[in-house]
Amino acid sequence: MLTRCGDDLFSIAVASPGQAQSLASQLRDTGGWLEVIPGIDTVLVRFDAARLDGVDAQGEIETVLARGITEIEVSADLLEIPVVYGGEYGPDLKELVAATGLTADKLIELHTAGIYTVDMIGFTPGFAFIGGLDECFRVPRRKEPRQRVAAGSVGIADGRTGLYAMASPGGWNIIGRTPKQLFDAMAEDPFVLRAGMQVRFKAIDAGEFGQ
């Protein structure tokens, strides 16, 4: 579960994204760490090697682990995210159709049918990893990443949805885009999405994108 990865880094394996978020919160509450980074099934902890040696750092982490790892509380709030699927907004939808053998309408139906939980935020600022998709969405990332993916793009890879809060390079299969603003530099909390939040996707027409 606990692995030393370098002079100042430990990796902790956990069972779920919810446990990763919960453990990261517990570790941050103890203070003294340079970084605590939750992933899908790991938490990375970077410590100040000038203040702590590895044995002492490991002991502090093990003290937190001994208290037990719970699941992060899932928010009761549900955020609906409108999406224009396919066309210029979702240039990879046709490839997903070819890869799965399903129609575009069926893929959109499956993607909009569930209520999902944001597993983690990472990769780029505000980028949301959202699990729980149907197995048909378990496709690899693009062989050649794009140099620029528009903000609001909805990507698919490895059975997850990835939401781009900001424009950035990326290799996810883009099946749509939301007009919803996911990043607001003027807001107290500039990113709309956070780990533990529930989301649901709603298909809209291209004519509704700018409304």
CATH fold label, 2-66: Gyrase A; domain 2 (3.30.1360)
Residue 42 CA: distances (Å) to CA of 82, 96, 167: 31, 29, 26
Residue 87 CA: distances (Å) to CA of 92, 95, 101, 174: 9, 12, 18, 10
> According to DSSP H, which parts of 31-86 are helical?
54-66
- pLDDT value at position 29? 87
Residues of the chain with pLDDT under 50: none
- pLDDT value at position 211? 58
- pLDDT value at position 17? 84
What are the domain boundaries of the chain?
2-66, 78-208
Residue 65 CA: distances (Å) to CA of 59, 79, 123: 10, 32, 26
CATH fold label, 78-208: Cyclophilin (2.40.100)
| Three-state SS at 105 | helix
DSSP lists the bridge partners of residue 83 as: 203
Q: What is the DSSP-derived secondary structure letter of residue 183?
A: B
- pLDDT value at position 172? 96
- pLDDT value at position 73? 73
133 neighbors 155 (Cβ within 8 angstroms)? no
Give the global pTM: 0.84
- pLDDT value at position 94? 95
Residue 20: exposed, middle, or buried by beta-carbon count in 10 A (0-12, 13-18, 19+)? Answer: buried
- pLDDT value at position 25? 87
Residue 184 CA: distances (Å) to CA of 100, 134, 196: 36, 31, 20
